[in-house]
Amino acid sequence: MKKLKKLFLTAITLSMTLGLSFGSVSATTGLEVQSIVANTFVGDGQREVSSFEIEVNDASLIADLTADDFDITNNVSSIPYDLTTGEMVTDYVDDGISIAIEDNTIVMNVKSFDYTGKYNADFTKNPWQITCEKYPELSFNKDNVTELKTRTLDNVIRGEYTYAGLTREYALYLPKNSNGSYKTDVPLVVWNHGGGEYAGEIENTLVANRGLTAWVEAGYETAVLEVQISNENYSYGAAFDESKKKLIDQNNALQADLIKQLINDGYVDANRVYVTGASSGGGATMRFAMQYPELFAGAIACCSMDPIVWVHYNYQDSYEQIVANFENAFQGNVYTWDESQGQMVEKAVDTQSLINLPIYFTHAENDTTCSVTSSKAMYEALNNLGAKNNHLTVWSDSEMAEDGIAPQILHWSWVKVLNHNEEGSPMNWLFKQSKEVTEVPETPTVPETPVVDVPADQNQPVDQKATAVKTGDSSNSEIFVCLAGLAILGGYLSTRKRFE
């Protein structure tokens, strides 16, 4: 559809849509909308919608309905910047609409777009709108959706876990057998989310990027765990603040205990536990590896922040000195939870186990939010200490562009990690790691339909140790999806927080 038509349709139908009471019957046609289901998935930058199911009271009243009768405004990619123009993305020229009528249900497929809407110049959200000129009763927006379905996430267990003096919300995906029971002895991927989701709500965190869903949707039969970290963002300057380091390690101690319980309960294979994360989550991943290297078979640290040693805005130390600082840290101390004392205490890093742990470092060369120096220096420091199984991939601007990442958001290198499982990719490499020698699995085929098929609202596998209210502030991560662009464009340093 042409955008000129979009503007025209919006002008003549928006008032009708807003004035229409959902479920009301048209005086002229007798047409009534009974329900609207939105079918969504987690995209690179936010939840995206791919189709709608619009149930009406009588399909014979719309026998002449075609895809050309519909138009969509404010439908954009969840990656906020256009590669060609360098500007924020605009409405699709072609909405990609196709329809089929099954019984009394209109099945409308669309070109997938950001379910939260389109950003305005002031970074407020402009909601999407679907209009139908022929039958205004079929015009609707997000507020009219009666059921929201999200691939993979609809089969994720939510809960709370208490350990190490903290209570944290978690989301856990466990693969199931055909009879609905949970599989046993499967790999586990632990995803550490970024700084923009700290002190947020877990449902917003789960759709901020594909950190939980990507592994399953790539076809791997694996468990995935994501814990909502509710402390203040610890990114820049954390290396100077021992209390922040201790809190990072405290969160990791809680996660470690939860992982051990999943292993003890038989759901997870102790030889195939993997830890990964991006930005502040990349830094947390490295501290996790320093605390409990014996727990993991492999790790991916993506675009890591610096809660280990000072890297970002460190203008006084040479690169060689930063490498040396990491070498010292990897032979130094971290914190762990002491049950007898009921507090976090220092312990020495098991440097040899850390050296033996395979780690894949990834970064974009021109990431201006988290300097590539962090990944390069950690990789070199571990090599200097004797590591032989690590990898480092640094992506050029053109390589980032292959996945739709514009120069304004080169920090988003997790997209490269989460969108690829071909031979040689970090994801493919990760699932080949094991603490015992096993046959290397073949790269799985991406399924055409969701892997999961039974809602995970039954037989909760994790013995939750306590029930507690949420900790931390309530914040909406949807607002922060694009704010890294401001940090790169300059002037709004606080917007880095979304992407750390």
Distance between CA atoms of residues 413 and 206, nearest Å: 18
Edge-to-edge strand ranges of the sheet holding 33-42: 98-102, 105-114, 47-56, 33-42, 147-150
What are the phi and psi torsion angles at 246 (to 5°)? -65, -35
Distance CA 135, CA 165 (A): 58
Q: To 10 degrees, what angle do helices 280-291 and 242-264 make? A: 70
Q: Please give the Cα distance from 265 to 182 (Å, whole number).
A: 11
In sequence order, the β-bridge partners of residue 191 are 226, 276
Q: Are strands 118-119 and 268-278 parallel, antiparallel or unpaired?
A: unpaired
- For position 237, what pLDDT does the model report? 67
- Residue 150 pairs with which residues in a beta bridge? 40
User: pLDDT tens string for the chain (500 positions)?
Assistant: 444 444 434 443 444 344 344 444 444 579 999 999 999 999 999 999 999 999 999 999 999 999 999 999 999 999 999 998 988 999 999 999 999 999 999 999 999 999 999 987 776 789 999 999 999 999 999 999 999 999 999 999 999 999 999 999 999 999 999 999 999 999 999 999 998 888 889 999 999 999 999 999 999 999 999 999 987 666 666 667 888 889 999 999 999 999 999 999 999 999 999 999 999 999 999 999 999 999 999 999 999 998 899 999 899 999 999 999 999 999 999 999 999 999 999 999 999 999 999 999 999 999 999 999 999 999 999 999 999 999 999 999 999 999 999 999 999 999 999 999 999 999 999 999 999 754 444 444 333 333 333 334 434 455 444 333 222 233 333 333 333 333 333 333 333 333 33
Strand order in the sheet with 129-132: 70-73, 129-132, 140-141
Residue range(s) in the chain whose domain bears CATH number 3.40.50.1820: 153-499
Report how far apart, in Å, the C-alpha atoms of 22 and of each of 131, 145, 146, 147, 232 are: 14, 10, 10, 14, 41
Give the torsion through C-alpha atoms of 55, 58, 59, 62, to 10 deg.
-110
Distance of CA 435 to the CA centre of its chain: 27
* Identity of residue 401: A
Q: How far apart are CA 9 and CA 391, in angstroms?
A: 53
Judge contact between 126 and 6, C-beta under 8 A: no
Q: Check if the beta carbon of residue 292 is closer than 8 Å to that of residue 263.
A: no
Nearest-5° Cα angle at 67, 63 to 69:
80
- Is the torsion defined by CA of 230, 468, 223, 42 positive or negative? negative
Is 401 in contact with 83 (CB distance < 8 Å)?
yes
Helix axes 280-291 and 373-384, enclosed angle (nearest 10): 20
Taking the whole predicted model, whether its pTM rises above 0.85 is answered as no
At 463, list the tokens: 């013995």
Tell me the C-alpha to C-alpha distance, in Å, between residue 478 and each of 152, 405, 407.
19, 18, 21
Contact predicate 242/308, CB 8 Å: no
CATH 3.40.50.1820 fits 153-499, yes or no: yes
Contact 305, 279 (CB under 8 A): yes
pLDDT at 392: 98
